[in-house]
Copies of this chain bind each other. A is one copy, B any other.
Amino acid sequence: MTTIRDVAKLADVSVATVSRVLNQTGNVSPKTLQRVEAAISQLNYQPNDVARSLFKGRSKMIALFVPDIMNPFFPELARAAEDVASKHGYTFVLCNTDGDGEKELTYLKALKQKSVDGIIIVSSTLSKDAMAHLDLPIIALDRKIGTNIAAVTVNNRKAAQQAVTHLQEVGCKRIAHIRGPQGASNAEDRMAGYIDIVGQTDWFNPSFICEGDYTADHAYKAALDLLQQHPEIDGIFAANDLMGVGVLKAAAALGKKVPDELAVIGFDGIALGEVTIPTLSTMAQPTYDIGARAAEMLIEHIDTYDLNRFVEPVEYEVKLIKRQSTERRTNDDK
């Protein structure tokens, strides 16, 4: 490996001077500048980032915590964050947490030891206490964490209201909800939006709300139970698209026609929803944008070195996309 010392020797200057041209700090005369640059390119010298990190205490790396990159919602988030990171010269570390608090803590520790500069976290298990100790720039993404950690999310409650209203508009009389996991702020908010719309109706029944965990398999089983126990249900709002697909499968398994006997709407807007049969209506998030925004905020946070600044939460809008799974029933009694 060729070091700054080799360059200095070849250019017949001190390492300090080489460092100066490398970082464009301090003044160097045009003549020596040229000599140094020549030496650098002649030796094909590339500064050692580890040494830099050691001195500076920062690594030019950011990390993203996701529950599981195999859930199709997260790759887009990851892609966006990586694009932004790389654009700003940051290296991008990906951590699958499985929503496991222990794992999250282990990762946190490891990253801290590596002087990672900041972290974007999708989590509903991490306590803010754990992160107070951390003293690292953090942005919560998709789900809020406590109240004093900057967050990038969408307006889940309002979007959920819209989704349920849409089901009503296409003629649904008994609408159930398959919710996301306990403690996930987005799951709570989406459920709240559902309740806002149907909670006061005469038919509403708390057992119309099923616990889910954002996976298709679980939602499939939950929907099976739900539809067998409550055959009168003619609309389901699933808290994410993956669960929406699970509902679609359950409906198919039970011979329930979608949308004629059961209308279904999901949440997220993943590409998957376009290729199911029927295609899945959804509340589409601007997924790439929120991932990119979170990364931008984090990096700005890092660059300004402003650790204690309270950062306003950012909320994006969600867009209703109507597809076959909620196509208006023409033969409806409405």
Query: CB within 8 Å of B: which residues of A?
Result: 1, 46-51, 53-54, 57, 59, 61, 68-70, 72, 74-76, 78-79, 82-83, 86, 89, 91-96, 107, 109-115, 245, 248-249, 272, 275-277
Contact = CB atoms under 8 A, between A and B. Distances in A.
- The oligomer's copy count stands at 2
A57 B48 CA distance: 10
A82 B272 CA distance: 24
Contact of A93 (B68, B79, B93): B93
A96 B107 CA distance: 22
Given A46-B112, A50-B59, A111-B91, A96 B69 contact: no
Given A94-B92, A96-B83, A276-B277, A115 B48 contact: yes
A187 B94 CA distance: 28
Given A91-B111, A272-B272, A75 B70 contact: yes
B72 A79 contact: no
28 contacts: A1-B57, A46-B109, A48-B115, A49-B113, A49-B115, A50-B59, A61-B114, A69-B75, A69-B78, A69-B82, A70-B75, A72-B72, A72-B75, A75-B75, A82-B96, A91-B110, A91-B111, A91-B114, A92-B94, A92-B95, A93-B94, A94-B94, A245-B275, A248-B275, A249-B275, A272-B272, A275-B277, A277-B277
